[in-house]
Amino acid sequence: MRLKIAVLAGDGIGPEVTKQATNILRAVAEMGGHEFTFVEGLIGGTAITETGSPLPTATLDAALECDAVLLGAVGDNKFNALPPDKRPEAGLLQIRQALGGFANLRPSIAYTALSASSPLRPEVTKDVDILFVRELLGGLYFGAPRWWDRNSNEAINTMRYTRDEVVRVARVAFELAGNRRQKVTSVDKANVLEVSQLWRATVTEVAKDYPSVTLEHQLVDSMAMHIMNIPRNFDVVLTENLFGDILSDEAGVITGSLGMLPSATIGGAVNLYEPVHGSAPDIAGTGKANPLGAILTAAMILRHSANLEQDAKAVEAAVNKVLDAGYRTADIARGQQPGQTPVSTQEMGKLVHQALAESIDRRQAMHAV
Ligand SMILES: NC(=O)C1=CN([C@@H]2O[C@H](COP(=O)(O)OP(=O)(O)OC[C@H]3O[C@@H](n4cnc5c(N)ncnc54)[C@H](O)[C@@H]3O)[C@@H](O)[C@H]2O)C=CC1
Ligand SMILES: CC(C)CC(=O)C(=O)O
Ligand SMILES: [Mg+2]
């Protein structure tokens, strides 16, 4: 199997966690006899500093020639005074748009070993496995007009969706639900927003093509509460761009930390893979960043861009094994429980690598018998 991956490490903890994710991909390639090549590119604040642009043309050109893009995170407080279209985050929105992926898959899984890391009670988080399908190219982040008129002290952003944009992402959600627990919860604010009324009517129409999947609608405000109260009730959660951004971060509480959450964006010319978290400037350079979200993102590359399902599962199992053995980065080391060992970003990456190597050795030994 050959795979060319653009690695855009970005800012803050982006390079720290991305390094651990690429180490895992290299290990999978080596152990499975695959040829993975990595092409590095600048994005975000580091790209602004070096080139003046948050998404240099060279980065975009290289990304478009790859089979997958792995992005760390962007964002640097030193650019906070810049207007949104000049900030590091603009580079991320631009590359999302250019790659064309519209369905951002964000799994949120409650790991048994981490039940004490979540502030939620273990009986609430037990067996939770939610898949957010977040529309990624529409809504407030991309709608025009958008401006801030400093003279009149007025600003505007536009939430806009077309029926076709809703249909295509809804189809992804229903298809995925068909292979899971057959339920889609569509989130909107149809009691107030016309865009949400279009969203709800369109999703209801698409649902008719998937009679085995149950559709429910939830308003986003009460949904924010239900996710914390009864997360087990949800299977696939379908949202527009902003609502999905917020609710999927909230779901980090179920898992124990934002640092545990991976994502894959599909449907475009090249799939884009990013952990859900940002550049975390508060812990950048301290060795405290949890690399597991990025490593689980690498597993999603194996699944969605390389068709290596068995290897994706092996990476996920290796993460589980390391958590079961009690190893914890600071964000998931709630209250220093007995049997836990604190580890750095790099140590966590190495432990997953070791667990993966052991499981692949066992698999190969079984095949050899
Ligand atoms: N995809 C991206 O590149 C994203 C970029 N951002 C940018 O990141 C910057 C910081 O934004 P925040 O709101 O602070 O969000 P953030 O996700 O960077 O951090 C929120 C909190 O979670 C913690 N955290 C995040 N990832 C972690 C990890 N892997 N391990 C341990 N702890 C982790 C941070 O230390 C912080 O306390 C901003 O410039 C923002 O625009 C924010 C979200 C997504
Ligand atoms: C442009 C971003 C910083 C948006 C974001 O927070 C995300 O996609 O998770
Ligand atoms: Mg976000």
Rounded Cα distance, 308 and 360, in Å: 13
Rounded Cα–Cα distance for residues 42 and 24 (Å): 21
The C-alpha atoms of residue 355 and residue 151 are separated, in whole angstroms, by 59
Looking up tokens 């580091």 gives: 46
Residues 305-325 pLDDT 10s: 999 999 999 999 999 999 999
ipTM over 0.85: yes
Q: Is the CB of 11 under 6 A from ligand 2?
A: no
* Nearest atom (ligand 1) to Cα of 280: 18
- DSSP, residue by residue, 58-96: HHHHHHHTSSEEEEEE---GGGTTS-GGGSHHHHHHHHH
**pLDDT class for 368, splitting at 50, 70, 90?**
confident
The pLDDT, as a whole number, for residue 362 is 78
Q: pLDDT confidence of 336, banded at 50, 70, 90? A: low
Of 4, 249, 313, 350, which residue is the catalytic one? Answer: 249
Under the banding of pLDDT at 50, 70 and 90, the label for residue 107 is: very high
Tokens matching residue 212:
């085995």
Q: Which residues contact 146 (CB under 8 A, 6 or more apart)?
A: 84, 156, 157, 158
Q: Give tens-digit pLDDT for 143-167.
A: 999 999 999 999 999 999 999 999 9
DSSP state string for 166-235: HHHHHHHHHHHHHTTTSEEEEEE-TTT-HHHHHHHHHHHHHHTT-TTSEEEEEEHHHHHHHHHH-GGG-S
Give Dmax (Cα) for the chain.
76
Give the containing element (helix H, strand E) for 331. none
pLDDT at 360: 79
Q: Per residue in 241-273, pLDDT tens?
A: 999 999 999 999 999 999 999 999 999 999 999
pTM of the model: 0.97
Q: Which residues pair with 129 in a beta bridge?
A: 109
Per the residue annotation, which of 61, 221, 324, 361 is the catalytic one?
221
pLDDT of residue 369: 67
Whole-number pLDDT of residue 168: 98
For residue 141, indicate whether it is catalytic. Answer: yes
* Residue of 245, 248, 297 to mutate, ligand 2, most atoms within 8 A of C-beta: 245
Q: Of 356, 345, 302, 326, which is closest to residue 116 (Cα–Cα)?
A: 326
Three-class secondary structure of residue 3 per DSSP: strand
Q: Is the CB of 331 under 6 A from ligand 2?
A: no
Residue 26: band (very low, low, confident or very high) from pLDDT cuts 50, 70, 90: very high
- pLDDT the model gives residue 235: 98
pLDDT for res 104: 98
221 is an annotated ligand-binding site residue: yes
* pLDDT, mean over the chain: 96
